[in-house]
Every structure is written in structure tokens, then in C-alpha cells.
Amino acid sequence: MRIVLLGPPGSGKGTYASRLTVKLGVPQISTGDMVREEIKARTELGKKIGEYSARGELVPDETIIEMLKKRLEAPDCKKGFILDGFPRTIPQAEALEKIVPIGLVINLNVPDEVIILRLSNRLVCRRCGAIYNRLTLKPKIDNVCDKCGGELYTREDDQPKVIQDRLNVYRRQTEPLIAYYKKKRLLKDVYCKDPKVPPEVVIEDIMAILKETKLI
Ligand SMILES: [Zn+2]
């Protein structure tokens, strides 16, 4: 069960991946999380990655692929995995294919306006970092953290204009990748048009696809 999860930033991809992990008993592999862990643990790779970002450069594909290869060959990936945040481009997809064949690509379709609505209503606690949402997870008192009483604010990244820019980059980058996987008949679309739909509903849709493609 080797699954790639594609979805724009703010689509809830990470949430779905971690729920699927529990249901399916395979690990969630996020290259973004792996990079952050390497940096935090100050490994050789982490230092190398740190140098790239200090120079304002992107981490080269081969570095990420080397790290991913090691991870995918670990014993807990024998039964499969859910890959979240990789690949983003066709060369990355081809490199992945050389490490291990992918069985299914789930493409989360969330309209831009839904993502903007969700993210621009996100509130973060200045003191403890807890996350709230004016639509779905309101604090008990306006702009005050339930957990620590700290002040809640909207991050710079969550301004509608910044979100839209990020989504445009994502769409441009992933469109060819979606076509690539479609051509290989690996792509299945999942739709989430309503920001109030709970994650369980989307998970049910994904589970139905897994059954239909006989992965479970
Ligand atoms: Zn707090």
C-alpha cells in the first residue's frame, strides 16, 4: 500500500495523512517533517540543509531523495506508507519511482476560496502556539487562548493575499504532476468543497477508493 497524497497547502493533507496512518497501520512520511527533524538533530544532512537555506537556496532534489530513500527502506515501510508533500515535480516523481513503485495517488481537490476561508480564519496563540479557527474551533473567549490565556493573532502567512500567492505557485507546479499520474492511471480525485465538512467524511471517501482499487 504505497500511497502518495497530493493537495494544496491548507487542504488538510497532513491531518488526513495522520488519520489514515492510524487506520491503515502504515507510516506517514512527510519530507518537510523529516527535513525539520534533521536540522533539529544537527545531523550531517541537517547541517548541509541548513547551509542551503542560509544561502537562500532550495535544497537540491538529490539530497531530499537520498534522505527519502533511506526512510522508505526502513522496516516499518515494508507494508507501505503514505507520502505527504513529495513529489512536487515530475523529476521527483521519476526519482521516487526508481526507489519504489507507487500504487495510488490521492489528489485532494479543495477550491482556493475554501482554503483561503479556512486559513484566514486561523488564529495562533502568541504564548503557547495553540491553533484555533474562527469557523471550526473557536476559543471560549474572543482572541484569548483557552489553554494559557495568551493573546491570539493571525499569522502573516495566513493573510488572504499570501495564501493566494502560495496556491498559485502550487497549482503551477503540480498541474504537470497530476497529468503525469493520470496518464499512468494512478490518480484518484477526492473532493472537499465545504470548509465545514469534518475530516472523517473525507477519510471515508479515501477509504472507499482504497477498497475500490483493492488496496484494502
Ligand atoms: Zn496559549
Average pLDDT over residues 49-74: 91
Q: Determine whether 127 is an active site residue.
A: no
Ligand 1 ion: nearby residues, β-carbon < 5 Å = 125, 127-128, 130, 145, 147-148, 150
Residues 112-154 pLDDT 10s: 999 999 899 999 999 999 999 998 889 999 999 999 999 999 9
pTM of the model: 0.86
Task: Please tell me the distance between residue 135's alpha carbon and the centre of ligand 1 in angstroms.
Answer: 18
Give the model's pLDDT for residue 193: 86
Q: Determine whether 36 is an active site residue.
A: no
Give the model's pLDDT for residue 121: 92
User: How far apart are the C-alpha atoms of 189 and 180, rounded to whole Å?
Assistant: 14
Catalytic pick among 79, 155, 193, 211: 155
Beta bridge partners of 124: 131, 153
Catalytic pick among 69, 134, 166, 182: 166
Residues 18, 28: contact at Cβ < 8 Å?
yes
How many alpha carbons fall within 13 Å on the CB side of residue 153?
A: 9
Catalytic pick among 48, 69, 71, 88: 88
Q: Determine whether 166 is an active site residue.
A: yes
User: How far apart are the C-alpha atoms of 117 and 102, rounded to whole Å?
Assistant: 33
Residues 148-202 pLDDT 10s: 999 999 999 899 999 999 999 999 999 999 999 999 999 999 998 887 778 889 9
CB burial string 42-71: b at 16+ within 10 A, e below: eeebbeebeeeeeeeeebebebbbebbeeb
Residues 7-29 pLDDT 10s: 998 888 888 999 999 999 999 99
